Amino acid sequence: MGGGAPAGGDFDALLTQTQNQGWRGLFKNGRALGLALFASLGGVLYGYNQGVFGQVQVMYNFEQRYLATFTNADLKGLVTAILELGAMVGALTAGPLADRYSRKYSVSGWCIIFMIGTIVQCAANSSVACIYAGRFIAGLGVGALSMLVPMYNAELAPPGIRGSLVALQQLAITFGILVSYWIAYGTNFIGGTKEGQSQAAWRVPLALQLVPGIILAIGACFLPFSPRWLMLKGREEESLETLARLRNGDPSSAEVQYEFRALQAERLVEQEAAKERYGQSEVNLRVNLLEYKRLLTTKPLLHRLMLGAGAQALQQWTGINAIIYYAPTIFESIGLTGGTIGLLATGVVGIVNFVFTIPAVLFVDNFGRKPILAWGEANMAISHAVVAAIIATNGPDFENKKAGNAAVFMIYWYIANFAVTWGPLAWVVSAEVFPLEMRAKGMSISSATNWLMNFTVAMVTPHMIDNIGYKTYIVFMVFCIVGFIYAVFILPELKGLSLEEVDRVFNDDTGAEDRARRERIAKQIGLDKVAADIVHQEKPHANGEATHMA
Ligand code: BGC
């Protein structure tokens, strides 16, 4: 890198090289890790909501009270799916509000909205309208947190560990799902599992979400502001102080100065680009909307957006949430009758999902994206095919216990494969396909796509199970094959590439203009000199531990 600012103006690249990366880096950055873990309560809420309702809606008391009267499968599906619709709206609106009111107060605010939704559900009288409304409102909060928390974490962390933070979020989600399953499994017994069942059986697991909600809503107010947000607001001094505190370093140390100046440069780059493109240097709502327009109408950018949003859509169409939401129903359909056995089997889904996310988190950066994604789709397609075949030959009464067990095993195999591959990687891919200046906007559209598809799958699955039975799995199998083709033939390998290399892969130069601007501004504010200092400091440690700031 010749001792200057990293080529292409990738301000993070230098520190990524000189710091401990991945999980090693996480543990070396105790403070950032602690804060990220706390903020990841948002991911736990996300997962809890993904998991809890599948359990609640097969509880006798809940079914009798709300669902028994439904003749329409759409209304039934919507009780689950409406949360995802709210989440999509939340994910799309959270970004601009977070720019205005800060990341941390946004986290607090959306937590309060989430809690209002939860209270409406818990206190629902005999009208199912409260459940719909409560789930929609809670969804707004969950969707907003699903993008705010990773964004806050990434802005707090040193560059070398940002990738691992994506995986940390996925681990938090799967932990939330796991906990929700087992809590609901336990509360299902309150008052018995049939006629005698108490309302508490379903009200308690819904109400328990308030505990992490309150902790996060209050705790977020005491978190530091994101240094990037402070810079965005022109509060440069505070930004520098916060960075120094986060890195346990001195404000004048080369590393802290480098990160600080990189933030400064980032802001200047945005302002200059806005001035050139739209005639104003204030990056306000108008500029943001015009940038969204550019993303949607410039061919090479649109191509990347299709790949990123495509990864998210395909993740949902693997059928993961058909299983997460309807596992108890699915297990019943393959012979695990007697309510609680289905719930127990579902609890195991939660464990498998969580446990198999751990290796993904540890090794996410050691392998290429394409082979992992292809492996995942191939195995998920096989699982769907086998489950379909077993149900086709044994259903609908399912006397054959062995066949039932084989189907259950295949569902676990499916979950394990999802957890190590598409679970975290869809999020990683949908971040790394975008040029830096479009990353936040690209990701907000990609995550909204994830929620929209999540909603669609939740809506159509009960219909498919009722009307086409085992062929439901064939539908998901076909999507897994499409995902396999995407992984092998459509998605370029992006692991470990620099920003220019990614541009070259996409054969476009949309990023070139911004890169040139970045390089020039980096020079202007002396970023290259600080970079040279760091490289100089690193030399004596050439093949040992890199000097790090903690
Ligand atoms: C997906 C969720 C899913 C979860 C399961 C996430 O990556 O986006 O929709 O419920 O994984 O672990």
What is the 8-class DSSP label of residue 318?
T
Buried b (16+ CB within 10 A) or exposed e, 41-59: bbbbbbbbbbbbbbbbbbb
- Average pLDDT along the chain: 87
**Angle between the 401-420 and 340-363 helix axes, to the nearest 10 degrees?**
30
* DSSP-assigned states of every residue in 412-475: HHHHHHHHHTHHHHHHHHHHHTS-GGGHHHHHHHHHHHHHHHHHHHHHHHHHHHHHHTTHHHHH
Q: How many residues does the chain have?
A: 550
Centre of ligand 1 to C-alpha 315, Å, is 8
The 10s digit of each residue's pLDDT in 193-208 is 788 999 999 999 999 9
**Per-residue model confidence (pLDDT) at position 314:** 98
Distance, CA 426 to ligand 1 centroid (Å)? 10
Cα separation, 550 vs 547, whole angstroms: 9
Ligand 1 centroid to Cα of residue 151, in Å, is: 18
pLDDT exceeds cutoff 70 at 185: yes
**How crowded is residue 236: how many other Cβ atoms within 10 Å of its Cβ?**
15
- 26 versus 314: which is more confidently predicted? 314
pLDDT value at residue 70? 78
Residue 486 gets which letter from DSSP? I
| Cβ contact 175:44 at 8 Å | yes
What's the count of helices (H) and strands (E) in the chain, helices before strands? 26, 0
Share of the chain above pLDDT 90, in %: 49
Q: Which atom of ligand 1 is nearest to the CA of 419?
A: 12
Answer left, alpha or beta for residue 231, where phi above 0 means left and psi between -120 and 50 means alpha.
alpha
Q: 210 and 44 in contact (C-beta within 8 Å)?
A: no
Ligand 1: nearest atom to the Cα of 423: 7
User: Which amino acid does the sequence have at 23?
Assistant: W
Q: Residue 232 in contact with residue 267, Cβ under 8 Å? A: yes
Q: What sign results for the dihedral spanned by CA atoms 113, 117, 123, 124?
A: positive
Task: Take residue 73 and report the two structure tokens written for it.
Answer: 């499968």
C-alpha to C-alpha distance for 330 and 349, rounded to whole angstroms: 12
Helix H, strand E, coil C: the string for 488-504 is HHHCCCCCCCCHHHHHH
Which of the listed CATH numbers 1.20.1260.10, 3.40.50.720, 3.30.428.10, 1.20.1250.20 matches domain 44-222? 1.20.1250.20
pLDDT in tens, 490-511: 999 988 777 677 778 887 766 6
CA distance linking residue 182 with residue 198, whole number of Å: 18
d(CA 443, CA 455): 18
The string of pLDDT tens digits covering residues 266-292 is 889 889 989 999 999 888 889 989 999
Q: What token pair was written down for 432?
A: 């790394």
Q: Find the range with the poorest average confidence among 460-469, 517-526, 536-545.
A: 536-545
Q: 34: how many CB neighbours lie within 10 A of its CB? A: 10
CB 475 within 8 A of CB 457: no
Cα distances (Å, whole numbers) of residue 10 to 1, 17, 259, 548: 11, 12, 12, 19
Cis peptide before 396 (omega within 30 of 0): yes
* Residues forming CATH 1.20.1250.20 domain(s) in the chain: 44-222, 298-510
CATH topology of domain 298-510: Growth Hormone; Chain: A; (1.20.1250)
What was the pLDDT predicted at 325?
Answer: 86
CA distance 97 to 143: 14
Written as one letter, the residue type at 206 is L
Q: Which residues line ligand 1 (CB under 6 A)?
A: 50, 170, 173-174, 177, 315, 320-321, 324, 353, 423, 450, 454
Reported as a single tens digit per residue, the pLDDT across 299-347 is 889 999 999 999 999 999 999 999 998 887 788 878 776 556 777 888 8
pLDDT tens per residue across span 460-472: 998 898 899 899 9
* C-alpha span between 264 and 258 (Å, rounded): 10
User: Which of 343, 319, 332 minimizes the C-alpha distance to 477?
Assistant: 319
At position 141, the amino acid (one-letter code) is G
Q: How confident is the model at residue 543 (pLDDT cuts 50, 70, 90)?
A: very low
For tokens 């971040």, the residue is 431
As a whole number of angstroms, the distance between CA 397 and CA 335 comes to 7
**Among 37-41, 233-237, 244-248, 324-328, which stretch is predicted with the lowest mean pLDDT?**
324-328
Whether the full predicted model's pTM is greater than 0.85, yes or no, is yes
What is the widest separation between alpha-carbon atoms in the chain? 75
In contact, 539 and 3? CB cutoff 8 Å: no
**CA–CA dist 162, 437 (Å, integer):** 17
Query: For a pocket test of ligand 1, which of 46, 316, 324, 476 has the largest count of ligand atoms closer than 8 A to its C-beta?
Result: 324
Instruction: State which of 53-57, 73-77, 515-519 shows the largest mean pLDDT.
Output: 53-57
The amino acid at 158: P
Tokens 């209002």 label which residue? 116
- Ligand 1 atom closest to Cα of residue 353: 12
CA separation for the pair 370, 358 (Å, rounded): 19
Enumerate residues 6+ apart whose C-beta is below 8 A from 297. Answer: none
CA of 327 from ligand 1 middle (Å) equals: 14
- Of all protein residues, the one whose alpha carbon is nearest to atom 11 of ligand 1 is 423
Amino acid identity at 336? L
Residue 548 — pLDDT band, cuts 50, 70, 90?
very low
DSSP state letters, 169-188: HHHHHHHHHHHHHHHHHHHT
Which two tokens mark 170? 């996925």
In whole angstroms, what is the distance from residue 230 CA to residue 236 CA? 7
Sign (positive or negative) of CA dihedral 86, 446, 32, 164: positive
Best of 50, 412, 456 for a ligand 1 pocket test (most atoms within 8 Å of beta carbon): 50
Tens of pLDDT, residue by residue over 167-180, are: 788 999 999 999 99
Helix orientation angle between 439-468 and 73-101, rounded to the nearest 10 degrees: 170
Terminal Cα-to-Cα distance of the chain (whole angstroms): 24
Phi, psi for residue 460 in degrees, rounded to 5: -85, -20
Phi-psi region of 398 (alpha: psi -120 to 50; beta: other; left: phi over 0): left
Ligand 1: distance of its center to the CA of 423 in Å? 6
Q: Are 302 and 459 in contact (CB under 8 A)?
A: no
Closest C-alpha to ligand 1, atom 1: 423
Report residue 473's pLDDT band, with 50, 70 and 90 as the boundaries: very high
